[in-house]
């Protein structure tokens, strides 16, 4: 989804926001001032009978907060989705928040808008940005949790607790926590990430290494029936070569054959065992 082909997004609004609203961070003083203006405009829009005038008032609020939409999208840059797509998602969510905002609930528009924009940006990652994809049920629940957070924030006037989200959705709290933890699946953590109190180690050093003993034990279990089926002389040659670590000349002297015969026996037996193991795997 690109900014230019989103037919539902008024191009004039985007141009106006670029010229009137700075991209920089929103200060506390500025946020409070714009919050008061937003409340007044949206309250006026809610009581407006003319749909065009109501839309104009809502769009003015959107223009006023486009800098906040870009700042929300910027928090998620560099995670595998184009920044312009994230900005587009945040802008559309801001427009949706302005259209759906109910000033009679006594909730600040900024609080509602931020939750709505954050949820929409995260939905972009849910649909397009998974690097490590969790079970589909967790993906669906994460989307439901995101929507529930926006609804409850509008109702409560604050960010909801995990318990409140779980009750709203009718699911266990542990499921909500698992869905929230899936946010980290968009971009895996680097194995070179410093860890430890002094940062003198890296994450990769803490991961368990492959246990060679387990692989050897598995090989023995798979080989045992095939080895038992070999003729006695073949088993003896294998035993002397791989368990007693004897050379081919030592084996030849012990079983009274030539070294060339030992080499042929080993080649034939190993080919046979390899073929039987390939059929098992």
Tens digits of per-residue pLDDT, 81-101?
778 888 888 999 999 999 988
**pLDDT on residue 2:** 41
Mean pLDDT, the chain, integer = 75
Token reading at 249: 């000349």
Least confident of 30-44, 46-60, 248-262: 30-44
The percent of residues in the chain predicted with pLDDT above 70, rounded, is 68
**pLDDT on residue 4:** 39
Give which of 109, 110, 111, 94 is closest to 59, Cα–Cα: 94
**pLDDT on residue 214:** 58
**pLDDT on residue 95:** 92
Question: CATH 1.10.10.10 in the chain, residues?
Answer: 219-280
In this prediction the pTM is 0.41
Tell me how far CA of residue 159 lies from CA of 36, 85, 254, 273, in angstroms. 20, 26, 82, 64
**Architecture of the domain defined by 219-280:** Orthogonal Bundle (1.10)
- Residue 26: CB partners within 8 Å, gap ≥ 6? 34, 67, 68, 71
Is the pLDDT assigned to residue 235 strictly greater than 80?
yes
**pLDDT on residue 129:** 54
SS3 content of the chain, % helix, strand, coil (to 5): 70, 0, 30
| Dihedral sign, Cα of residue 77, residue 83, residue 89, residue 92 | positive
> Higher-confidence residue: 150 or 8?
150
- pLDDT band, residue 40 (cuts 50/70/90): confident
Least confident of 18-27, 92-101, 234-243: 18-27
pLDDT digits (tens, 9 = 90+) for 247-276: 999 999 999 999 999 999 999 988 888 887
The torsion of the CA quartet 204, 179, 114, 27, rounded to 10 degrees, works out to: -30
Residue 256 DSSP symbol: T
**pLDDT on residue 180:** 76
Token reading at 114: 């931020």
Token reading at 280: 């098992």
Tell the residue number behind the tokens 């542990």, with chain if given.
Answer: 174
**pLDDT on residue 184:** 52
């Amino acid at each position: 989804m690109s900014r230019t082909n989103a037919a539902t997004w008024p191009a004039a609004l985007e141009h106006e926001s670029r010229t009137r609203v700075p991209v920089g961070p929103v200060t506390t003083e500025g946020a409070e001032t714009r919050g008061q203006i937003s409340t007044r405009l949206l309250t006026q829009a809610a009581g407006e009978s003319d749909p065009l005038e109501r839309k104009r008032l809502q769009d003015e609020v959107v223009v006023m907060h486009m800098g906040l939409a870009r700042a929300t999208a910027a928090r998620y840059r560099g995670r595998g989705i184009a920044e312009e797509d994230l900005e587009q998602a945040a802008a559309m969510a801001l427009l949706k928040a302005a259209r759906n905002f109910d000033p009679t609930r006594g909730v600040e528009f900024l609080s509602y808008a931020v939750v709505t924009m954050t949820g929409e940006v995260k939905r972009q990652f849910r649909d397009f940005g998974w690097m490590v994809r969790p079970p589909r049920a967790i993906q669906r629940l994460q989307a439901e949790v995101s929507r529930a957070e926006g609804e409850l924030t509008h109702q409560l006037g604050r960010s909801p607790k995990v318990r409140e989200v779980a009750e709203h959705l009718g699911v266990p709290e542990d499921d909500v926590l698992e869905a929230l933890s899936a946010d980290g699946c968009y971009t895996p953590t680097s194995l070179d990430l410093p860890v430890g109190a002094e940062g003198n180690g890296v994450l990769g050093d803490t991961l368990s290494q492959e246990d060679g003993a387990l692989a050897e034990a598995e090989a023995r279990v798979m080989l045992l029936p095939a080895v038992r089926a070999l003729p006695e002389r073949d088993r003896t040659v294998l035993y002397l070569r791989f368990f007693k670590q004897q050379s081919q000349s030592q084996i030849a002297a012990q079983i009274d054959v030539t070294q060339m015969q030992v080499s042929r026996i080993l080649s034939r037996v190993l080919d046979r065992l390899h073929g039987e193991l390939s059929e098992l795997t």
